Every structure is written in C-alpha cells, then in structure tokens.
Amino acid sequence: MTSLRVAFQGERGAYSEAAAVAFFGDSVQPIPYNDFDSVFEAVNTGQVDRGVLPVENSLAGSIHRNYDLLLRYELFIVGEVQIRIAHQLIALPGVSLNDIKKIYSHPQALAQCEQSITRLFPYVERVVTYDTAGSVKMIKEQNIRDGAGLASQRAAAIYGMDILQPDMQDDAENYTRFVVVAREPEIPAGEAKTSIVFSMDNMPGSLFKSLAVFALRDIDLTKIESRPLQGKRWQYFFYIDFIASQYEERGRNALNHLREITSYLKVLGSYPRGV
C-alpha cells in the first residue's frame, strides 16, 4: 500500500512534520516545502495527497497567512491536530554551553524562549532564520561551533545533533493547532468541528445577527477572528470555528440561516474535532 504524501512547510524535523506524523502515523511520507503558499499549491495541483498547516498557537495567536490562503484556494479542511511545542537548544556534538555566542531560530521560537535565553546567555546574539529545524540543519552544514539552534527533539535526532538544554520555552503550555487540507471534503465521524469564513454588509446589528444563528441552536463557537477584506476599507471577513458538522441537521440549518444574512459565506470544511 502506497503511503500518503503529505506536504508541510519547513525542513525535516519541523513541528509541522511532527504534526503530520502525529495525525497520519509513522507510515506517512512527509514532503517539505519552503513556504505555506507552496504547500497549498502542491495539494491543489495533486503533487501531494494532503497538506498540514499551522493555524493557531496558544501563545502567539493565529497564523494569518494560512487563513488568507484557506480563503484563496478551493481546498477543504479534513482534520486537525494539536501538538505541544517544546524548544530544545541544539548544537554540534562536542559543543558546550560555554561555547555558544549565537542562537539561531524562527522569530517566534526566539520570542517564546526569551526569558530562558536571557538567563542562560545574557550577551548572546539572536539570529533569525526562516524555520526552527532549518536553523539546526544550517548549523550542521556550515559547521557552526559557536552557535546553537532552537528546534524540536525530532530535529536533533534527524540531523545527529546534541541537545545542550532541554525545554527552553518560557511557558510549558505552548501548543500549536494544525489543520489537514485536501482537494475533496470528507464527512466526519463522531464529534465534529466546522470552519467557515463570511462577510456581511456593514449595518447595525449585522454581526450580532450572524452569531445569533449559532446561539439559537446551542452551537458552541471555539474561535472567531476578523481579517481585513482587501480592497474595501474597514470591512472584514470573519473566520469562525464551531462544534457541529455541516452534514448534521443543526449545523446545516445554522449555515442556511447564516447565508440569508451574509453577503459571502464559504465553508472551509467539517472534520473530527482534535484534542
């Protein structure tokens, strides 16, 4: 049986790759891409079967680029998975903490470890890279012996590097939510979540009326966020996640009701609720 080809952004060892393995299992074939746009394009054109993309971090909030791409592409969310983000300080074998003059990583990882970095390395230089695992790969390829990267335990294992200091993150409750996208929708089994995006005319009470369609049916909203509507000043798209499937009666009725009072509505997908 051929394993699923799943696109993710970053280098081998990235948290997105870990999310793909957590969702699909060890038999999955993760395919790295340089940026989020390329992941969407790979799924859209059939180069891969699925894509795994981060959409929300418990500390830093939403990854807006991916919400914009979900709106642009005709792909569907078919799953979600949450993983704990644990940043390890990783260096070449034989390098010690006293050797470290520079720390490399993605800006979010550097920010999430700021207190630990300051405590352990008061005078270290912080160097921004495009990817956590990519910083470890670069240190190995360039034989950087006065630097360390912040990345996952998986990245250290993949590149044969040492963990100098585990769990550098300042907050242990650091989780990222990833969604799985596909070219075709799937009907979820069990408790489901649905993601939608809509816009409406700027009239008094319009947002209240939109949200009321869910309250009237006792449907729980787990996320609501606005994004600027390009080309229309001070108008917005609203992204909502709610606990129900578009294929069950109350979810279907809520969406039909919402269509009556919005100027635009797109269902991004119904999928099993992740934990």
Q: Report, as an integer, the average pLDDT of 232-237.
A: 77
What is the predicted pLDDT for the residue at 255? Answer: 96
Of 1 and 24, the one with more pLDDT: 24
- Residues known to be catalytic: 176, 178
Same fold for the pair 5-84+175-182 and 88-165: yes
What is the predicted pLDDT for the residue at 231? Answer: 67
Average pLDDT of the chain to the nearest whole number: 93
Instruction: Inform me whether the pLDDT recorded for 71 exceeds 70.
Output: yes
User: What residue spans define the domains of the chain?
Assistant: 5-84+175-182, 88-165, 192-272
Fold of 5-84+175-182: D-Maltodextrin-Binding Protein; domain 2 (3.40.190)
Of 193 and 62, the one with more pLDDT: 193
Instruction: Inform me whether the pLDDT recorded for 47 exceeds 90.
Output: yes
CATH code of the region 192-272: 3.30.70.260
Of 232 and 55, the one with more pLDDT: 55
For residue 112, name the pLDDT band (cuts at 50, 70, 90): very high
The 10s digit of each residue's pLDDT in 206-228 is: 889 999 999 999 999 999 999 88
Residue 234, burial from CB neighbour count under 10 angstroms (0-12, 13-18, 19+): exposed
**Rg (alpha carbons) of the chain, rounded to whole number:** 21
The 10s digit of each residue's pLDDT in 170-209 is: 998 999 999 999 999 999 988 999 999 999 887 778 889 9
Instruction: Inform me whether the pLDDT recorded for 110 exceeds 80.
Output: yes
Instruction: Inform me whether the pLDDT recorded for 1 exceeds 60.
Output: no
User: How far apart, in Å, are the Cα atoms of 74 and each of 30, 69, 230, 236, 240?
Assistant: 22, 9, 18, 20, 17
> Class for domain 88-165, per CATH?
alpha beta
In sequence order, what DSSP letters do the residues of 137-181 get, joined into one string? Answer: HHHHHTT-SSEEEEE-HHHHHHTT-EEEES---S-S--EEEEEEE
pTM reported for the whole predicted model: 0.91
What is the predicted pLDDT for the residue at 37? Answer: 97
Q: Report, as an integer, the average pLDDT of 258-271.
A: 94
Hey, is 119 helix, strand or coil? helix
Lowest-confidence segment of 31-35, 57-61, 137-141, 253-257 by average pLDDT: 57-61
Q: Report, as an integer, the average pLDDT of 162-168.
A: 96
